[in-house]
């Protein structure tokens, strides 16, 4: 059964939904032959086609007619067999979002792109594609466009060159109109992924699952089409996102309404009890330090105890960020006591004690002081 991939890989008008549905409709006992003349498109929508092909239980074959470029070229990694028309060309590069720097992407976008590239690299390697070529494409920090003629593609193990009989059909007509040289010169810009255009993005649901949606904004909006990543399961009803947004999804996977879930600032009884227990533990730690100070403890022990309280101070302050102000103030006051100990406490030294004793004898005469010192020397000798 033949399926055509002849448009930009984009789902704004439901094109990718149509392609995925056609893939699912192919019986497992029939060969799925996808005729490709495609300039590429959206990585996340391309990943939906890629996964649908990998999930198909029957034999899959790609037939490149005119051009398989960018996502259209990387998709070849999903097929069991690849044929390339002798007049066709292929362009491969690492999957990315043109016009948006890697550092500007969200964590979900980066993870999705990295995951797709790793899978494509591994699949092409298992097909026998040249390792040096794959490393140049997928392991380079730069985005490198690798253009291959049909013969070059065959020589690196990407597919088999065949002479396809020309027919009066849509994919061949599109292939004939493609100006490959212009596409090369324009580096596949062709209006794809400019910042004024809707781009497929990734979002995470409350339960940890990821979805893709198309939007000009960073966040999902009414009218966006939502699809579950890595699954063909239809999403309907209410979806809760990690950013507290709730989207109402209709039967066509389209967002019909959006609302933001209110987050309660109330502290439960269990949370209060837990915080009071933490305060109690910290107060006990402060008391131990004060006891060590009063007993003239070793400086190293006191320093270690203070360091422990300093660490607990930082940890407890972080825990208190989302609690009620009253509890926060109580804990903060207790912690301030511990924090100030370091600056206020100095262990008494032996010489300080000696000077203090001599100050107490300041009112005695020289002879009386001398008598006390001699008595002390005699006591030392008797003790020894």
Phi-psi region of 14 (alpha: psi -120 to 50; beta: other; left: phi over 0): left
* pLDDT tens readout for residues 136-188: 899 888 888 889 999 999 999 999 999 887 666 666 667 666 767 667 666 55
For the chain, give every domain's residue range. 2-185, 199-260, 276-344, 350-383
- pLDDT exceeds 90 at position 287: no
Pick the more confident residue, 243 or 110.
110
- pLDDT exceeds 70 at position 264: no
pTM: 0.56
State how far the Cα of 63 lies from the Cα of 172, in Å rounded to an integer.
11
Q: Give 240's pLDDT tier (boundaries 50, 70, 90).
A: confident
- pLDDT exceeds 80 at position 85: yes
Strand boundaries in the chain, DSSP class E? 2-5, 32-38, 60-69, 81-85, 89-92, 146-149, 160-162, 199-204, 210-215, 226-228, 237-240, 245-249, 255-260
* pLDDT tens readout for residues 242-259: 777 888 888 887 888 888
Pick the more confident residue, 341 or 127.
127
Pick the more confident residue, 276 or 42.
42
| Nearest to 324, CA basis, from 368, 279, 382, 370 | 279
In this prediction, residues 33-39 reach a mean pLDDT of: 92
State how far the Cα of 72 lies from the Cα of 229, in Å rounded to an integer.
19
| Nearest to 48, CA basis, from 94, 15, 91, 82 | 15
Q: Which of these ranges, 131-140, 187-196, 230-239, 243-252, has the smallest mean pLDDT? A: 187-196
- pLDDT exceeds 90 at position 333: no
Mean pLDDT estimate for the chain: 77
pLDDT of residue 260: 80
Q: Which of these ranges, 114-123, 191-200, 365-374, has the smallest mean pLDDT? A: 191-200
pLDDT of residue 91: 92
pLDDT of residue 374: 63
Q: With contact defined as beta carbons under 8 Å apart, do 37 and 68 qualify?
A: yes
pLDDT of residue 349: 44
pLDDT of residue 206: 81
Spatial neighbors of 339 by CB under 8 A, at least 6 apart, are: 309, 310, 313
Q: Which of these ranges, 23-37, 220-234, 246-260, has the smallest mean pLDDT? A: 220-234
* pLDDT tens readout for residues 2-13: 899 988 898 888
Task: Out of 58-62, 189-193, 321-325, give the one with best mean pLDDT.
Answer: 58-62
Pick the more confident residue, 202 or 37.
37
- Say which CATH architecture domain 2-185 belongs to: Alpha-Beta Complex (3.90)
Angle at 215 between CA 42 and CA 258, to 5 degrees: 140
- pLDDT exceeds 80 at position 127: yes
- pLDDT exceeds 50 at position 21: yes
* pLDDT tens readout for residues 362-378: 555 666 656 666 666 56
Q: Give 288's pLDDT tier (boundaries 50, 70, 90).
A: confident
In this prediction, residues 16-30 reach a mean pLDDT of: 93
């Amino acid at each position: 059964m033949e399926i055509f991939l002849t448009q930009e890989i984009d789902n704004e008008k439901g094109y990718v939904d149509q392609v995925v549905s056609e893939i699912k409709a192919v019986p497992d006992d029939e060969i799925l032959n996808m005729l490709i003349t495609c300039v590429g498109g959206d990585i996340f929508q391309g990943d939906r086609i890629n996964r649908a092909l990998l999930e198909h239980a029957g034999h899959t074959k790609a037939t490149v007619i005119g051009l398989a470029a960018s996502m259209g070229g990387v998709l070849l990694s999903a097929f069991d067999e690849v044929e390339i028309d002798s007049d066709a060309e292929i362009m491969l590069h690492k999957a990315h979002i043109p016009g948006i720097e890697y550092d500007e992407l969200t964590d979900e976008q980066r993870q999705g792109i990295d995951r797709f590239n790793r899978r494509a690299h591994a699949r092409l390697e298992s097909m026998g594609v040249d390792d040096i070529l794959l490393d140049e494409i997928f392991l380079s920090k730069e985005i490198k466009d690798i253009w291959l003629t049909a013969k070059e593609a065959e020589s690196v193990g990407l597919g088999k060159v065949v002479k396809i009989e020309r027919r009066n059909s849509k994919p061949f007509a599109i292939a004939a109109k493609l100006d490959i040289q212009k596409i090369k010169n324009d580096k596949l810009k062709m209006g794809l992924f400019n910042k004024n255009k809707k781009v497929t993005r990734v979002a995470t649901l409350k339960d940890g699952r990821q979805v893709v949606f198309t939007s000009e904004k960073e966040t999902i909006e009414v009218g966006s089409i939502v699809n579950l990543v890595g699954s063909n399961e239809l999403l309907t009803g209410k979806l809760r996102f990690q950013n507290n947004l709730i989207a109402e999804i209709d039967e066509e996977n389209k967002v019909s309404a959006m609302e933001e879930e209110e987050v309660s600032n109330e502290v439960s009884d269990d949370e209060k009890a837990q915080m009071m227990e933490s305060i109690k533990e910290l107060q006990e730690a402060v008391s131990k330090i004060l006891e060590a100070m009063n007993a003239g403890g070793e400086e190293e022990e006191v320093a270690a105890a203070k360091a422990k309280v300093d660490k607990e101070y930082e940890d407890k302050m972080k825990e208190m960020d989302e609690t009620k102000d009253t509890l926060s103030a109580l804990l903060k006051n207790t912690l301030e006591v511990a924090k100030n100990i370091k600056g206020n406490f100095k262990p008494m030294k032996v010489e300080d004690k000696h000077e203090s004793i001599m100050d107490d004898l300041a009112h005695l005469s020289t002879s009386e002081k001398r008598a006390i010192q001699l008595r002390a020397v005699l006591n030392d000798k008797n003790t020894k």
